[in-house]
Amino acid sequence: MDIALTILGLFFMCLGLIGSILPVLPGPPLSWIGLLLLYLTNAIPNDWMFLTITLIIALVVFALDYIIPAIGTKKFGGSKAGMIGTSIGLIIGILAPIPGGIIIGPFVGALIGELTNKADTQTALKAAFGSFLGFVTSTLLKFIVAIIYFGLFIKIFWEYKSIIF
The per-residue pLDDT for 58 is 97
Cα gap 28→147, rounded to integer Å: 9
CA neighbor of 30 nearest in space, from 46, 18, 40: 18
**DSSP labels, 47-80:** -HHHHHHHHHHHHHHHHHHHHHHHHHHHHTT--H
Smallest CA-to-CA distance from 64 within 115, 139, 6 is with: 139
Expressed as residue numbers, the domain containing 103 is 2-164
Which pLDDT tens digit goes with each residue over 104-133?
A: 888 888 889 888 887 788 888 888 888 778
Average pLDDT over residues 157-165: 90
- Predicted pLDDT at 24: 77
Residue 154 has pLDDT above 90, yes or no: yes
Separation of alpha carbons 115 and 117, rounded Å = 5
Give the whole-angstrom CA distance, residue 103 versus residue 140. 12
Domain count, the chain: 1
pTM for the structure as a whole: 0.81
* Cα–Cα distance, 109 to 91 (Å, whole number): 10
